[in-house]
Amino acid sequence: MKQLLVVDLHLESKYKRNFDKLVTRIKEVGGLTAESDFESLTKMDPESLNLTYSGVILGGTEALWTKTVDRVRFVDLIQFLPKVTLPTLGICGGHQALALAHGGSVIKSKSSLVQGFRTVSLEDKDTLLAGLPAKIRVMQSHKEEVKILPPGFVRTASSSDTENEGMKHNERPLYGVQFHPERWNEENQAGRIILANFVHKVALQENLKNS
């Protein structure tokens, strides 16, 4: 099984612990991981990337896409992501980056900060959300959200706080979730199932299909 490339989108090193938590949780569900920051990712050859890894997971970020000084830091990433043909999962800020890269839009959330375990309604329990009930409790921590889905994407989840809690591409293995599946706990295990689904039912199956 090839490694998943987990990409850190944080701008400041003090947030590295959040990225480390994501990597640890991917390993807990059986994923093999390699790590990169977003600037290093954009210097990789897309063809080599697509041959080397089984998938890409874009982590969260403290940056705000509606803030020009933050957004300009990610210009190269937004231009690079459409070249990646691997199965991709965007989480929180990574979900927003994926949307922007493919032609969607991001706005400030209705609330200044959406935080804590919240209820999310699932609208399309395809591969990534397989095995879950109609409503799940997952950890939120965001100030922005995807407003307009990119062409070719459909909504997979929503909540009272956030209209587009989840999205997927109609034809390609591209997924995004606004919440943090890696922050599951004993009472709320949906995030664990989602990460396991991406590792085993999305990335692994796509690689077997194309091998």
pLDDT digits (tens, 9 = 90+) for 137-183: 999 999 999 999 999 999 999 999 999 999 999 999 999 999 999 99
- Classify burial at 53, counting beta carbons within 10 Å of its beta carbon; exposed 0-12, middle 13-18, buried 19 or more: buried
Mean pLDDT value of segment 121-150: 95
What confidence category does residue 127 fall into, taking pLDDT thresholds of 50, 70 and 90? very high
Q: What DSSP element (H or E) covers 123?
A: none
Print burial letters for 87-111: b (CB count within 10 Å at least 16), e (below 16).
bbbbbbbbbbbbbbbbebebeebee
In this predicted model, what pLDDT tens digit does every residue of 29-41 receive, in sequence order?
999 999 999 999 9
Q: Are strands 4-8 and 33-37 parallel, antiparallel or unpaired?
A: parallel
pLDDT score for 126: 84
In this predicted model, what pLDDT tens digit does every residue of 75-96 receive, in sequence order?
999 999 999 999 999 999 999 9
At residue 34, φ and ψ (nearest 5 deg) are: -125, 155
Which of the residues are catalytic? 92, 180, 182
Q: Are strands 4-8 and 153-158 parallel, antiparallel or unpaired?
A: unpaired
Task: Say yes or no to pLDDT of 189 above 90.
Answer: yes
Q: Which residue has the tokens 């706990």?
A: 185
Average pLDDT along the chain? 95
* Residues 167 and 176: beta-carbon distance below 8 Å: yes
pLDDT score for 124: 86
The CATH superfamily label for domain 4-210 reads Class I glutamine amidotransferase (GATase) domain (3.40.50.880)
Q: Are strands 55-58 and 4-8 parallel, antiparallel or unpaired?
A: parallel
Q: How far apart are CA 154 and CA 175, in angstroms?
A: 10
In this predicted model, what pLDDT tens digit does every residue of 190-209 receive, in sequence order?
999 999 999 999 998 887 77
